A and B are shown apart, each in its own frame.
Chain A
Amino acid sequence: MEAQNNNELNELNAKKKAAYGTGIVVFILLIALTIGEYFVGSIAIGWSWPLWLIALIKAAFILRDYMHVNRLFSWNEESE
């Protein structure tokens, strides 16, 4: 019984670590893309399509990993 509880706890901790890890990776990607768009905007004045593309990629990451848009389609499941 105790071993089963320990296993469940370990599994929960592993899931929590993975969720935290995803948050960190997405944040690093967002920062890298922001720095990228800053340089694109400074160097290539008048080039707006790469900036739109970067903004769309950033928004997609936030929608998927921070706003969890997929939860809308999993009506009766747990949040995490």
Chain B
Amino acid sequence: MTTHSEAKSTYRYKTGTNRLGLWLFIISDAFVFGGLLVARFYLFGAERPELNQLLGLVVTFILLLSSFFMNRAETSMAYGDQKGFLRGTLITIILGILFLVGVVGVEWQIAPFSPGDNAMASVFYTMTGFHAFHVLTGVIFLIVVYRNGRKGIYTQEKHWPVEAAAVYWHFVDVVWVFFYPALYLMGAPVG
């Protein structure tokens, strides 16, 4: 009994340490995104690239919806609902891929400029590309978590990787919360 409670206590301590490490990484990564945001305002000023407004709104909606399902998946696991966790994670993966298709597969193709045209175009592709790379990393992370979840590796008490994947995924969402208005809404459109 004592051994069991000791093991539980050790796991909680380790989770606390892991959590601190993950947040340290997230804060340092946030500075890189912050730098890109500063570059956008330094180089565009009160202007913004002419982009498809509807597409911007749709991909934003997709990412917010994916965060909702990721939260649902993590909550399900925290309450021992294995099926709910697998369903939520799978939907999040699909929505993440849809977001990538929307940005890289559609927006990049229909944008009226290419990366080397001017500073505005370069910053646009760098911001969306760097963010898309994080989404791709998140999708890979979620596929690993989903696969392990199917094997029944995670339990109600021990599911740190699920929490880590969820926090990382929501962080990618927070970045887009600032990138979306900065690229699509702030300033006068320039063709």
Contacts and interface: CB of A to CB of B under 8 A. Distances in A.
Same complex origin of A and B: yes
Interface of A: 12, 15-16, 19-20, 23-24, 26-27, 30-31, 34, 37-38, 40-42, 45-46, 48, 51-52, 54-55, 58-59, 62-63, 65-69, 71-72, 75-80
Given A62-B174, A67-B171, A41 B181 contact: yes
Contacts of B64: 27, 30-31, 34
29 contacts: A16-B75, A20-B72, A20-B75, A23-B68, A27-B68, A37-B180, A38-B53, A41-B181, A41-B184, A45-B187, A48-B181, A48-B187, A51-B186, A62-B67, A66-B67, A66-B71, A66-B166, A67-B167, A67-B170, A67-B171, A67-B174, A68-B167, A75-B13, A76-B13, A76-B16, A77-B12, A79-B78, A80-B75, A80-B78
Contacts of B121: none
Contacts of A30: 64, 67
Main secondary structure of the interface of B (DSSP, over half): helix
User: Ordered nearest first, which 8 A-B pairs have the shortest CB separation?
Assistant: A41-B185, A27-B68, A80-B78, A16-B79, A51-B181, A75-B16, A66-B170, A23-B71
Nearest to A75: B16
Interface residues of B, number: 41
Contact of B75 (A23, A38, A42): A23
B110 interface: no
B130 interface: no
Interface of B: 9, 12-13, 15-16, 19-20, 23, 46, 53, 57, 60-61, 64-65, 67-68, 70-72, 75, 78-79, 81, 159, 163, 166-167, 170-171, 173-174, 177-178, 180-181, 184-188
Given A16-B79, A30-B64, A31-B64, A23 B20 contact: no
Given A31-B61, A34-B60, A71-B19, A40 B185 contact: yes
Contacts of A71: 19
A34 B185 CA distance: 11
A62 B185 contact: no
Contact of B187 (A19, A38, A46, A67): A46
A20 B78 CA distance: 11
A63 to B, nearest CB: 7
